[in-house]
Amino acid sequence: MKRSAATLVGVAITVAAAVFVPRALSESAPTCEFASLAAPEGTVIESVVTRAHEAGTFEVPTAKPGKGYQVPDVRAYCQVTVTLAHPGAGDHVKADVWLPNAGWNGRLQALGGAAFSAGNDGGALALAVKDGYAAATTDAGVGERFDTRWALRPNGTVDTELLRNFGSRSQHDLAVLSKNLILSFYGKAVSYSYWRGCSTGGRQGYAAAQQHPGDYNGILANSPAISWNQFQLAGLWPQVVMNEAHTYPSKCVFAAVNRAVVSACDARDGAVDGLVSDLARCDFDPRTLVGTSVLCEGKSVTITEADAEVVRRIWDGPRDASGKRLWAGLPVGADFAYLAETKGDHGSPFVIPARWVSYFLKKDPKFDVATLTSAQLVELFTDATEFDSIIGSDNPDLSRFAQAGGKLLTVHEEWDQLVFPHGTIEYREKVEAKLGARVDDFYRVFVAPSSSHCALGTKTPDFAALVDWVEKGKAPDTLRAELTNVDGKPVQRNLCRYPTISHYPGHGSLTDPNSFTCVAPSVSGG
């Protein structure tokens, strides 16, 4: 039966305190009745709305920049929307929990957000329910993906209560609320609980491991937006470089540079396959392209010294007056389109870091981020640390998470053009420096060559690997993934566990992932 996201059985119920009479669950007659619901500590329940959905196809609405899509064969489920408030905070947080009426596998899967959105739009929830999970997400009481109007109070100060919700508080409330609701609905507690997210959702997963280590048995936190302030500011560096150089290379020039990167560095891992698997050894110099002609929209464009210098500085990353590097630059080979966007003869800062600076750091929505100088950016790196404790999510002390038996798994694309993998690698090394070699017992990172931000999605069995690690003790050494080479063709590869990289020893089919081995970076030839 095909239905929209709003197809209901019965009438939505709104109550101040949820007390319902339990009844037997049935796939054919979906129900939303449960015994009671306890509020997480420090919150009050303002309302509960229940909706019983029949089995069918879930329609995921279009949400820019993504497109709408369908999730077929979703089980009948009960949707419970709870509005929570923290007394004195002036917030109203919605938590959505979807409960399969039949075939529940005994597990909870909580879903994270993207950009400035704390929660999922429904697609991941539907997929989780389809697989038999109870699924949950929260809006943290804030806006949608690019909405930061919630950031400032009427007096012009940052609403730190809502920022705290967005940072981690609402994710913890969601874990507690969901487990309480599941116990009431099914009459038994969850056997395992999982967090799943990418980008902001990845950051939320790291925050849970650091601050609330008992919330989840397993956390899949991909391309995590940790070190939030630093990576946001680094995202404005390309605009600063272009503005100060008064040089705005065209998309065609940037594309030519990236094609040259692949040509120069493809073979460093032993195989010419349209992938760059040893990016650390890719020392391509963009100045070698000076004087090269590029066909751009029917016209010939010549790459200039100024173009090459802009590219070199973008890759190098922001530095202070003494030359100290403040954060990594755009990964060599990554797409320039988002962070080095231009409109005519001037730059156009990417909306997410631009709004972080204007709303949170400058506390002025009208501040023109496009006018930032390198000196001002350095000042922001140095002084703008007031929110690190709320949203930085990069405390390397995971000892309590390890003691709780939790498992943290991360896949980060090496050509992530928005949240550079530098942050994840630096964090992983800090955790190992603090806790030693035992880190691999509970925390593993996999780097995906030649892939962009959160691009792998379902093209790698990372969540299944996490479940096997948590429930069967099978720690993953490699992850099979579908990558895309420079010609746009799918390529099957085994992702290697950091710090090893993929290497082709010179024999075996290049189409067979098992022809490649994982070696220390220093072992890779080419």
Whether pLDDT at 468 is above 70: yes
Same domain, 275 and 417: no
176 lies in the same domain as 200: no
Mean pLDDT of 212-236: 97
Which residues are known to be catalytic?
A: 199, 416, 453
- Looking at residue 22, what is its pLDDT? 33
User: Which residue range is the domain that position 33 belongs to?
Assistant: 1-190
Give the mean model confidence (pLDDT) for residues 79-103.
97
Token pair for residue 147? Answer: 């909405």
Are 118 and 88 in the same domain?
yes
CATH code of the domain in which 219 resides? 3.40.50.1820
**Shared-domain flag, residues 62 and 100:** yes
**Longest Cα–Cα distance in the chain:** 77
Per-residue confidence at 148, pLDDT binned at 50, 70, 90?
A: very high
Distance of CA 59 to the CA centre of its chain: 23
Among 70, 76, 25, 72, CA closest to 55:
76
- For residues 67 and 155, state if they share a domain: yes
Q: What's the CA gap between 472 and 273, in Å, rounded?
A: 35
Q: Could you tell me where the beta strands, DSSP code E, fall in 414-473?
A: 443-448
- What's the distance, CA 368 to chain centroid? 27
pLDDT on residue 16: 32
65: preceding bond cis by omega (within 30 degrees): yes
Helix (H) or strand (E) holding 494: strand 490-496
* % of the chain surpassing 70 pLDDT: 92
Contact call for residues 195 and 215 (beta carbons, < 8 A): yes
Given 342, 359, 385, which residue is the final one in a domain?
385
Residue pLDDT, tens place only, 305-364: 999 999 999 999 999 999 999 999 999 999 999 999 988 778 899 999 999 999 999 999
Q: Are residues 418 and 360 in the same domain?
A: no
Distance between CA atoms of 145 and 66, rounded to whole angstroms?
A: 11
Same domain, 381 and 237: yes
Q: How far is residue 1's CA from residue 440's CA, in Å, rounded to a whole number? A: 46
Residue 434 — pLDDT band, cuts 50, 70, 90? very high
| Number of structural domains the chain divides into | 3
Whether 463 maps to a domain, the answer reads: yes
Residue 429 falls inside a structural domain: yes
Render pLDDT for 112-126 as a digit per residue (tens, 0 to 9): 999 999 998 788 999
CA atoms of 260 and 279, how far apart (whole Å): 14
pLDDT greater than 70 at residue 170: yes
In a domain, 509, yes or no: no
Is pLDDT above 90 for 377? yes
Instruction: Kindly state whether residues 144 and 247 are assigned to the same domain.
Output: no
Q: What is the mean pLDDT of residues 284-313?
A: 95
Q: What angle do CA 414, 417, 418 make, to 5 degrees?
A: 115
Q: Before 513, cis peptide (omega within 30)?
A: no
**CA gap 356, 166 in Å, rounded:** 13
Q: What is the 3-state secondary structure (H, E, C) of 178-200?
A: HHHHHHHHHCCCCCEEEEEEECH
- pLDDT class for 13, splitting at 50, 70, 90? very low
3 state SS of 32: coil
Q: Output phi, psi for 323, to 5 deg.
A: 95, 0
User: Are 279 and 410 in a shared domain?
Assistant: no
pTM: 0.92
Q: Which residues contact 526 (CB under 8 A, 6 or more apart)?
A: 267, 268, 269, 270, 278, 281
Whether the pLDDT of residue 274 is over 50: the answer is yes
In a domain, 493, yes or no: no
- The span from the CA of 114 to the CA of 407, in Å, is 22
Within-domain flag for 443: yes
Q: Which residue has the tokens 């919700």?
A: 165
